[in-house]
Amino acid sequence: MTQVFSVTLEDSEPSLHSFYESKMTTLPPVPMPRPKLASLARQKLPCSPSTIPRSQLIKEKDGLDHYLEVNFKGLSKEEVAAHRNSYKKTICVDMLQNGYHKSFTELFALMEKWDDLREAARVRSIFWLQRPLEEQPDKLDHFYYYLTRAEVAERKEFFEDVYNNLYALACYFNHIEDKWVRNHFYERCFQIAQLIKVDGGKKEAEAHGLMGLLFEEEGQLLEAAEHYEAFHQLTQGRIWKDETGRFLNLLACESLLRIYRLLADKMLENKDYKQAIRILIKAFEITQEGNNKKMEGEASYYLGLAYLAAGEYETALTVLNTYSEISTDLDDELGLGRAYEAIAKVLQSQGEMTEAIKYLKQVVKILRNNFQFLDAVKASTMLGDIYNEKGYYNKASAYFQQAFDTTAELINIPLMEETKVHYGIAKAHQMMQTVNNYIESADLTSLGCLLSWKESRSSIIPDPVIRELRRATMASLYETSEHLEELNGFPDTVQKNET
């Protein structure tokens, strides 16, 4: 009998592909000239440029196998088959020969789905880049190694080892084009985790986290929330850590905060404010359990925005002030900028424009100091809108110009076009005010300035008398506002404002 080639679990490090290559490179050279059968065998190898009709191959297969077995010592039928067949087929045959029937069934089903997905991708797009599975021997080696180990462990009812091998496969296929393979093994891990009773539920908790991620990526937020809630419940009061050393309970809290925020966004879009606030309150309470101030601040920020959308301004200010206090304690300048911007929006909605301006000026300063120029553009535009609405066109033009210049430096064309429109409107209002002053003066000098402007269409120069009067008035108002600000100081919280 010929010795059947097989790969045991201990031979897992070198791949089957490299093993076959090393075996074939050590074969003795075939003496020349070659007999007829030997020449035919040479032609049948994949490296041969010529092709032979399939009917002739089938007819002479038995005679060829017998000739090779008799005349070439050490070259078995299995080794010949390794060269005749594709690497994918060799892997499948080897699984069956070694009794891994369950692994073969699972791999065969995955390979069929792989081919179906490739064909569907080829039909949809001419940019079809995914290679067939038989051209990726490393992936086939991973399938063979971990599936067979998982099958052996499952026979012995070592379910934790089964879980570890399936999870290793899921991690290996964590690429964009292979996400469906990863999801398949996530589901297998979840099924096996229900059978593990010796670890207090740690694997089950991890599996719920994996399933939550799977549903979240597919946009099924309610299903994801159910798994994340189970993940959180199983890790409460536990000090379990993942392979990177992070506490599983903290990961569960972060996952719940993220999924609740996504659910709340959907509810706010549908104007279901009460339900959105309810779920964000739940998220805030959960983050307090994790004893993580940054995460607690994030939850209070989103809750404050929900109260703002619902029109509950006083409650929104209270919650957002909590976020600003947390950001101050953590020396988180960007978080403080976000808090001030949200507070300014609430004050603007209440008609408290002066207080909103104070907060927005701080926001612009913080964002520019931290090189967050796009966010600074947004804050400058908000300031320009407020000044433009109040009739302070010079200040509005200054902030709109600042926003426009920043977008021009960043070469952000869409945003540059938007800020250019704002800047143009403010400049038009500014010029309109001067033109109105000249018209109201109704003297020869004013008429001459208007005619000169009509001819040149350049920036119109205010009348000296009107300009001096305006300057004196604005200076007086500015000194008054500066004096009031010195008395009151810049409010750190809304409570100080009210005081």
pLDDT tens profile 174-191? 888 889 999 999 999 999
Report angle CA 10, 13, 18 to the nearest 5 degrees: 115
User: Residue 425 burial by CB count (10 A; 0-12/13-18/19+): exposed, middle or buried?
Assistant: middle
* Whole-number pLDDT of residue 26: 39
Lowest mean pLDDT among 152-161, 230-239, 425-434: 425-434
Other C-beta atoms lying within 10 Å of the C-beta of residue 443: 11
Q: What are 422-454's pLDDT values in tens digits?
A: 888 888 887 887 777 778 887 877 778 777 777
pLDDT classification of 304: cutoffs 50, 70, 90: very high
Mean model confidence pLDDT for the chain: 79
| pLDDT above 80 for 17 | no
CB burial string 291-330: b at 16+ within 10 A, e below:
ebeebbbbbbbbbbbbbbbbebbebbbbbbbbbbbbbeee
* Whole-number pLDDT of residue 242: 87
Please give the model's pTM, rounded to 2 decimal places.
0.69
Q: What are 406-427's pLDDT values in tens digits?
A: 888 888 888 888 888 888 888 8
pLDDT classification of 66: cutoffs 50, 70, 90: low
Tell me the average pLDDT across 274-293: 88
* Whole-number pLDDT of residue 467: 47
* Whole-number pLDDT of residue 152: 95
Largest Cα span, the chain = 122
* Whole-number pLDDT of residue 257: 93
CB burial string 162-178: b at 16+ within 10 A, e below:
bbbbbbebbebbeeeeb
For 31, 37, 60, 70, 416, the CA distances from 66, given in Å and listed in that order, are 18, 10, 10, 6, 79
Tell me the average pLDDT across 157-183: 92
Residues 6+ apart with CB under 8 A from 89: none
% of the chain at pLDDT higher than 70: 73
* Whole-number pLDDT of residue 288: 81
| pLDDT above 50 for 30 | no
* Whole-number pLDDT of residue 258: 94
